[in-house]
């Protein structure tokens, strides 16, 4: 069990923490902190959510006495949501013997690119809170994820669009990366299986002009909804173009659209598949949201932050029981929900399957209406 509360970190522990910005220290004795790497696009809102929740979890762990009496220290490194940068970040963590596990990356492309490094010459377990591409299931024994895959999000979105919303025809815009292609494929497969028609599937890049695609949707394609398999920023660009064209149909998307907003008189609604919402019932989540709002001036956590929070608390318990050896941590993660107890967190029950994926991940549909 964890000790109750350590009134203050020792000078040696403080010295270790101060070295995290540079080269790892060559041993600080029995008071070494437990170092966990955390990586994501911290200059973007999605990365900010991750970082804020990680800091909250860290402070809770340390206030409760740390991990076997040792402080939890987080080494934050920005990956810029870039595959190239993510590989360098992964190598930095893997080569630093003080880093016992890694939380991140947030997005699918960087996670897929970095995965071979985490399972390479100096392996270290990586647990992603939100990288959902199905290909990550094949990334090896050192890679875990605590979120549903695109197969879950896309299929649920396609089923909802056809059965609950009643759409017959849709146009899909998809970010031409691992995440966008994953959501697009799973959505189209399920929607068409249920008798819907995907009129067109249109790839885009961050600087692509979306007007030609949406002009066709507003004219001869005559669709019931626009599906955006991309980010919140992509959805907001799409919505702006739809409003300019007078295309008044709903926008559908998965969890990367979290935080999108609408103005009155334009697109009537955005419908998203989400693995977590801040208003989800349950005492654990209610306490987490209350602490998060109190600490961060009323902000609400999103799925990335909530899952990061769960991962860090789960990791802390695993290290407390199994020790800070990288291989022991990996083995303990593999047993979560099978040979050992499932982890009950604010996002629900975490159980890892044989691929390191979240077993039985469920999503709900969330509606966003215009402000005002």
For residue range 209-265, list pLDDT tens digits in order: 999 999 999 998 899 999 999 999 999 999 999 999 999 999 999 999 999 999 999
Output the domain CATH number for residue 218. Answer: 3.40.50.2300
In a domain, 369, yes or no: no
| The pLDDT of residue 11 is above 70 | no
* 346 vs 305: CA distance, rounded Å: 11
| The pLDDT of residue 89 is above 50 | yes
Same domain flag for 341 and 353: yes
Q: Which of 225, 258, 274 is the last residue of a domain?
A: 274
pLDDT tens profile 133-148: 999 999 999 999 999 9
Is the Cα dihedral 140, 144, 150, 153 positive or negative? positive
Residues 6+ apart with CB under 8 A from 372: 263, 264
In a domain, 335, yes or no: yes
Same domain flag for 91 and 184: no
Q: How many CA atoms lie within 13 A of 348 on its CB side?
A: 20
In a domain, 21, yes or no: yes
Same domain flag for 54 and 107: yes
Range 95-121 average pLDDT:
97
In a domain, 130, yes or no: yes
pLDDT of residue 15: 35
Range of the domain at 249: 151-274
Q: Which of 239, 274, 309 is the last residue of a domain?
A: 274
pLDDT of residue 30: 57
Same domain flag for 61 and 130: yes
Same domain flag for 288 and 351: yes
Same domain flag for 142 and 184: no
pLDDT of residue 192: 98
pLDDT of residue 371: 79
| The pLDDT of residue 14 is above 60 | no
3-state secondary structure of 300: coil
Query: What does pTM read for this prediction?
Result: 0.88
Q: Which of 244, 274, 304 is the last residue of a domain?
A: 274
pLDDT of residue 105: 98
In a domain, 167, yes or no: yes
On the 0-12 / 13-18 / 19+ scale of CB atoms within 10 A, 205 is exposed
Same domain flag for 17 and 140: yes
CA angle 202, 44, 126 (to 5 degrees): 90
Same domain flag for 258 and 198: yes
Same domain flag for 179 and 267: yes
In a domain, 6, yes or no: no
Cα distances from 15 to residues 72, 73, 98, 205, 311, in angstroms, run 14, 12, 14, 45, 26
Same domain flag for 193 and 251: yes
pLDDT of residue 361: 85
The number of domains in the chain is 2
Same domain flag for 190 and 301: no
pLDDT of residue 6: 30
E strand residue ranges, 50-196: 72-78, 99-103, 126-128, 143-145, 169-175
E strand residue ranges, 297-362: 343-345, 348-350
Share of the chain above pLDDT 70, in %: 92
| The pLDDT of residue 3 is above 60 | no
Same domain flag for 119 and 230: no
- Largest separation between any pair of C-alpha atoms in the chain: 71
pLDDT of residue 145: 97
| The pLDDT of residue 77 is above 60 | yes
Average pLDDT over all residues of the chain: 91
Do 226 and 238 meet the contact criterion of CB atoms below 8 Å apart? Answer: yes
| The pLDDT of residue 4 is above 60 | no
Range 35-64 average pLDDT:
97
Helix-, strand-, coil-residue percentages of the chain, each rounded to 5 = 45, 20, 40
In a domain, 309, yes or no: yes
* 41 vs 78: CA distance, rounded Å: 5
In a domain, 354, yes or no: yes
Higher pLDDT, 364 or 2: 364
Select from 125, 132, 149 the least CA-distant residue to 335: 125
């Amino acid at each position: 069990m964890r000790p109750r509360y350590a009134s203050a970190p020792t000078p040696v522990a403080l010295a270790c923490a101060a070295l995290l910005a540079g080269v790892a220290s060559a041993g600080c004795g029995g008071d070494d902190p437990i170092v966990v790497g955390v990586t994501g696009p911290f200059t973007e809102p999605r990365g900010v959510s991750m970082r804020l929740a990680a800091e909250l979890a860290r402070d809770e762990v340390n206030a409760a006495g740390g991990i076997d009496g040792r402080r939890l220290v987080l080494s934050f490194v920005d990956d810029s949501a870039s595959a190239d940068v993510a590989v360098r970040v992964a190598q930095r963590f893997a080569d630093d013997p003080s880093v016992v596990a890694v939380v991140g990356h947030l997005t699918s492309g960087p996670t897929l690119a970095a995965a071979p490094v985490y399972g390479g010459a100096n392996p270290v377990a990586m647990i992603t809170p939100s990288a959902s591409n199905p290909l990550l299931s094949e990334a090896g024994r050192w890679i875990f994820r605590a979120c549903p895959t695109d197969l879950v999000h896309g299929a649920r979105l396609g089923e909802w669009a056809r059965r609950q919303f009643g759409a017959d025809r849709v146009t899909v815009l998809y970010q031409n990366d691992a995440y966008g292609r994953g959501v697009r494929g799973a959505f189209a497969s399920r929607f068409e299986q249920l008798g819907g028609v995907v009129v067109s599937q249109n790839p885009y890049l961050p600087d692509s002009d979306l007007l030609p695609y949406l002009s066709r949707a507003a004219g001869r394609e005559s669709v019931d909804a626009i599906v955006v398999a991309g980010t919140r920023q992509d959805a907001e660009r799409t919505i702006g173009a739809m409003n300019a064209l007078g295309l008044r149909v709903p926008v559908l998307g998965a969890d990367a659209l979290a935080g999108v907003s609408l103005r009155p008189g334009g697109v009537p609604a955005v419908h998203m598949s989400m693995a977590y919402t801040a208003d989800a019932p349950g005492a654990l989540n209610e306490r987490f949201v209350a602490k998060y709002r109190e600490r961060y001036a009323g902000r609400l956590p999103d799925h990335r932050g909530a899952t990061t929070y769960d991962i860090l608390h789960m990791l802390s318990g695993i290290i407390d029981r199994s020790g800070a050896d990288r291989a022991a941590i990996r083995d303990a993660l593999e047993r979560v929900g099978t040979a050992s107890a499932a982890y009950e967190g604010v996002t629900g029950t975490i159980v890892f399957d044989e691929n390191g994926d979240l077993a039985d991940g469920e999503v709900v549909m969330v509606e966003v209406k215009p402000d005002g």
